[in-house]
Amino acid sequence: MEEKNIKIEQDEYAVHTPQSTKIITKSDKRQIKKNFIKFTIWVVLLLMSWSYIQKHPAEKVSVFSGFEVLIQKVEVFFQNTFGHNWELLERKYSMEKYYKELVKMAENNKCIDTNILQEIEDVYKNLKKEKLDWLEQILPEYTKKAYEYDNIVKNNDC
């Protein structure tokens, strides 16, 4: 049987541990240092971004609504590919957006009765819970209510 000699290059900064035969070379240490610096910079930038988003509510809303819209687009795509009611799902999401805007407008209108605002929020929550199977029969009713609430919100100026 032939015996092979394995030569391991070492430098003066090599670290040997009795538990392993792994050697950390000078270039490994440099790479670890670079990665640590990159990680530190990344964490600082992430914290700065988070701080900015916390101080600016409009930015906060746009970030979270962007995720919601992305998820909705993926659902519509899958429904379009594997299902048959993708147009109905798209109409549902546009109606949800409309109700969300109605809630915001009603909250900003000081003359709106709190009961009306609560009704709009309840209808919006119910619409979000609706299943796709029943949506075709129910969606016209939600549309009708949305236009009624829109007239109430727009016509109730102080």
Its pTM stands at 0.54
DSSP β-bridge partners for residue 24: 15
Alpha-carbon distances of 151 from 106, 144, 155, rounded to whole Å: 11, 11, 6
Is 157 within 8 Å of 109 (Cβ atoms)?
yes
Q: What is the pLDDT along the chain (158 residues), one digit of tens a residue?
A: 555 555 555 555 555 555 555 678 888 899 999 999 999 999 999 999 888 877 876 666 666 666 677 777 787 777 777 777 778 888 888 888 888 888 888 888 877 888 888 898 998 888 888 887 777 888 889 889 988 888 888 887 65
